[in-house]
Chain A
């Protein structure tokens, strides 16, 4: 509720940016958990922009505040300082766990955001059919979530997220719990869906190769406090493969940068 207010307020600022077609704007955002001595700075003056239709990946070790950043953008938490803007139409978020509602069937799960928004029944049905088609699960509409594999559940979660907001999608390590083969297939699926829908994605992962495999840009975060430390453009042709030479080489460069940052800091700490 509060978060919605924040979004509304910042949308005004974003109108200026419409011609540059910015989908997500994060300006000088700081987030502290707790206060005073016990307080932990999860994010420290982070600024970033994501253009419409862009696929941006955030990589960093665990504890770098990358999930917090997504929660802030999704409006699930409020920043301690700074501002966040999202272009019209709202955002949806996916988690590592599909978080499907176990009491609802696959189609009812996808329908959920449409029901809460009060979309008429006929329209809902058409939308659900379309989305289940998009994630290639038409035949599973009447199934319960527990009857599906982990990968299929995550595809249902994707369809449900798109039913809520179909332009901007935040993904918080959505494939981290899946086995490598399943992950490869979902990477392909996601790449296809992005090409079909012109979706804007901000994707958080600790897997550097996954980030390079998927993203147009890769942002590197340090941890404690979470700061943006480097940015890589990924100018590789699509469709990509995670095993390709180019992806592996670039991933190695990103990893080197991450390590050299950590190393530099370790030296500083030792010297002080």
Chain B
């Protein structure tokens, strides 16, 4: 454990820390864009099939000025949020039940791992049969995609609590609910956050798959825009919307999990000297 020096430097400003954390990321993005541009220049595919990055970003800028774009973003993000929230409740409850009841665990342990590896797109035919082409079909698949990871994450997190900490807690007068609240939950938190992160990745993927399959006229979404762009052979628009998908995935990771997680790990002395 890399214990920091005794005299801690004053905390730098938030924006500066963000900039420092994001700098390598921007470097990587620049490299990817450069490769993209080189491939375009090589003439491997005509520009109307594979447009150069500047053109795609210019298109993205124009798209962002349109009202319909924001509606699509709003609808997609709302679905993501709702599906993810349900997945946390379902997955969390499942995980907790499995830690409490050994029978459940032996019965469903393998199943949840299986569910985790099952491609969410394989659920769609069933979801459509069950719920028709509607919002519930999409939510169903998002929840099924994310909940197993979240449940398994919680299960692993609780399994990996050092027994000594629980023993210490008990010897200091904590039992029953108090032991859970004051020792088990905080001790399991880093592992649980990992499960939440993985759950988000699965939720976002499932949602994108779902929006490509389940579309209805008055509900624009990111997936729908992707699909439309392909039908119109609009490569520029297609790539612009793919950038949006990627950007949202990264933003949630960096802003939603990154900052809180680092804070938690630093507090516990679990961040290496390199961070």
Is A232 interfacial (CB 8 A cutoff)?
A: no
Is B102 interfacial (CB 8 A cutoff)?
A: no
Assembly CA distance A75 to B167 (angstroms):
11
Is B171 interfacial (CB 8 A cutoff)?
A: yes
Do B167 and A76 touch across chains, with their CB atoms under 8 A apart? yes
Contact with B along A144-155 (1 / 0, CB 8 A): 111100000000
Contact with B along A110-128 (1 / 0, CB 8 A): 0011011100000000000
Q: Is the interface of B mostly helix, strand, loop or mixed?
A: helix
Is B187 interfacial (CB 8 A cutoff)?
A: yes
Q: Total A-B residue pairs with C-beta atoms closer than 8 Å? A: 66
Do A112 and B175 touch across chains, with their CB atoms under 8 A apart? no
Do B172 and A92 touch across chains, with their CB atoms under 8 A apart? yes
Do A102 and B268 touch across chains, with their CB atoms under 8 A apart? yes
Do B187 and A116 touch across chains, with their CB atoms under 8 A apart? no
Is B67 interfacial (CB 8 A cutoff)?
A: no
Pick the most buried of A1, A103, A161, A164: most chain B CB atoms within 10 A of its CB: A103
Do B178 and A97 touch across chains, with their CB atoms under 8 A apart? no
Q: Which A57-114 residues have a C-beta within 8 angstroms of B?
A: 74-76, 90, 92-93, 95, 97, 99, 101-103, 112-113
With A116-B182, A147-B6, A147-B269 known as contacts, the answer to whether A95 contacts B187 (CB < 8 A) is no
Assembly CA distance A50 to B57 (angstroms):
79
Partner pick for A95 among B4, B168, B186, CB 8 A cutoff: B168
Do A74 and B171 touch across chains, with their CB atoms under 8 A apart? yes
Partner pick for A116 among B173, B264, B270, CB 8 A cutoff: B173
Partner pick for B3 among A74, A115, A146, CB 8 A cutoff: A146
Contacts of B164 in A (CB 8 A): 95, 97, 99
Pick the most buried of B4, B172, B186, B187: most chain A CB atoms within 10 A of its CB: B172
Q: Which B232-275 residues have a C-beta within 8 angstroms of A?
A: 264, 267-270
Is B75 interfacial (CB 8 A cutoff)?
A: no
Taking Cβ atoms with an 8 Å cutoff, the residues of B that contact A are 1, 3-4, 6, 162, 164-165, 167-176, 178, 182-183, 186-187, 189, 264, 267-270
